Amino acid sequence: MDNRQSLWTRDFFSICFSSFFIFITFYSLTATLPTFVTDELGGSQQQAGWVLTAFVIAAVIMRPFAGKWMDGPYRYLLVLVATAVFMVCGFIYPMISVFGILLVLRFVQGASFGAATTANGTIVTELIPDNRKGEGMGYFTLAMNLAMVLGPFLGLTIIQNAGFRTLFIVFMAFGVLGMLLSIVVVRGRKSSAKTMTAAKAAPRATAPSPAPKRRLDWRNYIEPKAVPVSLVSMFLAVAYAGILSFVPSYAKEIGLESISSYYFIVYAAMIVLARPFTGKMFDRLHRNYLVYPTLLLYAVGLFVLAMADSAFLFLLSGAIIGLGFGSLFPCLQTIAIQSVPKEKVGLATGTLFIFFDGGIGIGSALLGSVASAANNRTMYLVGLASVLIGALLYFLLMHRDRKPSRQAQPVESA
């Protein structure tokens, strides 16, 4: 008899699709705004690079505050405000005619992105049954993975056939849909909270004790127990930045420009095929049985990419990396939230993304410099070295932690 709780609830669907609309906007803009800066605003390549840098910096700054706020009484207000600001920014893009204003807009939207994604990453952990954490987080992060594939394709197709104004109108629609779905989630969570409060209400109310005064402490913004897995994710993100930013230019360098768009399709296909199995494996086995094989696949995929000299090897690397890193990241996110008490899940989620976003920023600058000084093959070998460092850190910091997870529950079988 299967006693597992339901995963596919209305709120779970809503938060997955809300995240999808946020991430597809992010990835579409990442691929298209550099062209907007150079072609529409007359800016330089250096200025074009700053539109992503400003966004990432703002997201990193916001995440520790968002993680802390998600563990407090204003968590649902944060969800709505962050999503609303992200939506409003979408309405401003068509009016941009000066690079400086675009930079400010990107900083504001980056801050709202950091807050909204941290909030969604926290709330979704409360919607997933304890004995299906790995499976549920796998499906949730699938929204981000699919957006990473569809976003650049959608953005580039629209500007090539209809122009930037049409693209920005599409982003407006995505922002509105994301906002509406966030409202659905918040209303559902508030309703559930009221029901639980009424069920647990004591016959006689007691006066609340006064809240202790809080000192300024970094641990209010960074969760120490989530730092080890977050540090691992940072080194993995360095290599991921090379895939996210430089695969099209690498394909052109090795004479495979005509098939570069298929790389991310293969990547996404492997994620979709593997996700149902890897999530369930994480819930049933010790995490090491999944983390080490996916780390190995990630490293092998980067090596194949660095050595690719044919369409087969180029696309094969996308499949291997999709199976490796695409399965690995939701495991790391689940490890982060299982390492802390429930009241600190928001802080742990924020901590993970601070390090991950930091790795993306470091990787974009570092690997871009390597590619300019040497070539893209060398760049991906440097990315491979970063993954190996991440694997070593996992072994040193986390391998021997065999205690049962705080939220992990045994899965009852027939």
Whether 257 and 351 map to the same domain: the answer is yes
Whole-angstrom Cα distance, residue 24 to residue 98? Answer: 25
Q: Are 350 and 118 within 8 A, CB to CB?
A: yes
Average pLDDT value for residue range 377-383: 92
**List of residues 6+ apart from 110 with CB closer than 8 A:** 54, 55, 56, 57, 58, 59, 62
Q: Which amino acid is at 308?
A: A
Average pLDDT value for residue range 267-286: 74
Q: Is 42 left (phi over 0), alpha (psi -120 to 50) or beta?
A: left
Whether 60 and 126 map to the same domain: the answer is yes
pLDDT tens per residue across span 6-40: 777 888 888 889 999 999 998 888 777 877 887 88
Give a yes or no: residue 212 inside a domain.
no
Whether 181 and 230 map to the same domain: the answer is no
Whether 111 and 239 map to the same domain: the answer is no
The whole-model pTM stands at 0.69
Q: State the CATH number of the domain containing residue 391.
A: 1.20.1250.20
Give a yes or no: residue 240 inside a domain.
yes
Q: Are 223 and 355 within 8 A, CB to CB?
A: no
pLDDT of residue 21: 93
Whether 186 and 231 map to the same domain: the answer is no
Average pLDDT value for residue range 143-147: 78
* Residue 388 CB neighbour total at 10 angstroms: 16
Please identify, among 192, 207, 230, the residue that sits at the C-terminal boundary of a domain.
Answer: 192
Maximum Cα–Cα distance across the chain: 75
Q: How confident is the model at residue 369 (pLDDT cuts 50, 70, 90)?
A: confident
**Of the listed ranges 29-33, 172-176, 224-228, 321-325, the one predicted with least confidence:** 29-33
Whole-angstrom Cα distance, residue 410 to residue 339? Answer: 17
Whether 56 and 184 map to the same domain: the answer is yes
Whole-angstrom Cα distance, residue 188 to residue 112? Answer: 22
DSSP string, 349-391: HHHHHHHHHHHHHHHHHHHHHHHHHS-HHHHHHHHHHHHHHHH
Whether 120 and 234 map to the same domain: the answer is no
pLDDT of residue 49: 63
CA distances, 292 to each of 51, 82, 149, 313 (Å) = 36, 36, 25, 23
Whether 53 and 168 map to the same domain: the answer is yes
pLDDT of residue 211: 45
pLDDT tens per residue across span 289-308: 888 999 999 999 999 999 99
Share of the chain above pLDDT 90, in %: 27
Whether 225 and 179 map to the same domain: the answer is no
What's the mean per-residue pLDDT of the chain?
A: 80
Domain holding 330, by residue range, is 219-401
Give a yes or no: residue 202 inside a domain.
no
State the residue for tokens 């969570």: 189
Q: How confident is the model at residue 138 (pLDDT cuts 50, 70, 90)?
A: confident
The three-class DSSP label of residue 334 is helix
Whole-angstrom Cα distance, residue 303 to residue 335? Answer: 27
pLDDT of residue 5: 66
The residue with greater pLDDT, 378 or 278, is: 378
b/e 184-210 (16+ beta carbons within 10 angstroms → b): bbbebbeeeeeeeeeeeeeeeeeeeee
pLDDT of residue 253: 81
Average pLDDT value for residue range 232-259: 82
Average pLDDT value for residue range 77-100: 91
* Residue 314 CB neighbour total at 10 angstroms: 23
Whether 226 and 348 map to the same domain: the answer is yes
**Of the listed ranges 45-54, 350-359, 390-399, the one predicted with least confidence:** 45-54
pLDDT tens per residue across span 56-76: 888 888 877 887 777 777 778
Specify the number of domains making up the chain: 2
Give a yes or no: residue 178 inside a domain.
yes
- Reading the block at residue 408, the tokens are 């992990």
Whether 369 and 277 map to the same domain: the answer is yes
Whole-angstrom Cα distance, residue 388 to residue 298? Answer: 10
pLDDT of residue 192: 65
Q: Which amino acid is at 118?
A: T
Q: How confident is the model at residue 207 (pLDDT cuts 50, 70, 90)?
A: very low
Q: Are 393 and 231 within 8 A, CB to CB?
A: yes
Give a yes or no: residue 297 inside a domain.
yes
DSSP string, 211-259: PPPPP--GGGTS-GGGHHHHHHHHHHHHHHHHHHHHHHHHHHHTT-GGG
The residue with greater pLDDT, 312 or 409, is: 312
Give a yes or no: residue 213 inside a domain.
no
Whether 98 and 159 map to the same domain: the answer is yes
* Residue 285 CB neighbour total at 10 angstroms: 11
Give a yes or no: residue 305 inside a domain.
yes
Give a yes or no: residue 183 inside a domain.
yes
Q: Which amino acid is at 393?
A: L
The residue with greater pLDDT, 362 or 310, is: 310
**List of residues 6+ apart from 101 with CB closer than 8 A:** none
pLDDT of residue 106: 92
Q: How confident is the model at residue 206 (pLDDT cuts 50, 70, 90)?
A: very low
